[in-house]
């Protein structure tokens, strides 16, 4: 039976190459140390990444089917660049119907929240 000392460095291999364990903590290829409590957010992070991939794939198919030529990162690349701010603006306009209104439309009654004055700082 193999005995593993938790204080020895254990490097992972395969698709996990670069990650490892040492002293009860996990470390990343960039050298970041992950506490055990940090790993509770992995599920949320993976779900966010999955939704991001789906949203980008959906937008790429929409860009490919449009008659307007999509913007490209450079002339040599084959994949189109997705400008997230533009995509979200267009979706927001579709959802709120802002793109349909003409020049005679009434102004929006949206109130933008802002922070109050900052307290004085001692120097």
The reported pLDDT for the residue numbered 72 is 46
Note the pTM of the prediction, 2 decimals. 0.36
| pLDDT (tens digit per residue) in 87-123 | 888 888 887 765 555 666 666 666 666 677 777 777 6
The reported pLDDT for the residue numbered 50 is 92
Name 70's Cβ contacts closer than 8 Å, sequence gap at least 6: 63, 64, 80, 81
Q: How confident is the model at residue 22 (pLDDT cuts 50, 70, 90)?
A: confident
The reported pLDDT for the residue numbered 24 is 82
Contacts 24+ apart (CB under 8 A), 48-55: 55/87
């Amino acid at each position: 039976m193999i005995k593993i000392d938790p204080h020895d460095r254990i490097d992972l291999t395969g698709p996990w190459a670069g990650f490892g364990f040492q002293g009860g903590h996990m470390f990343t290829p960039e050298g970041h140390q992950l506490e055990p409590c940090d790993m509770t957010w992995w599920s949320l992070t993976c779900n966010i990444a999955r939704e991001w991939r789906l949203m980008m794939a959906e937008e790429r198919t929409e860009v490919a089917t449009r008659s307007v030529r999509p913007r490209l990162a450079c002339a040599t690349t084959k994949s189109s660049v997705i400008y997230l701010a533009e995509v979200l603006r267009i979706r927001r306009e579709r959802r709120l119907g802002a793109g349909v209104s003409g020049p005679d439309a009434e102004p929006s009654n949206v109130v933008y929240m802002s922070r109050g004055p900052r307290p004085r700082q001692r120097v």
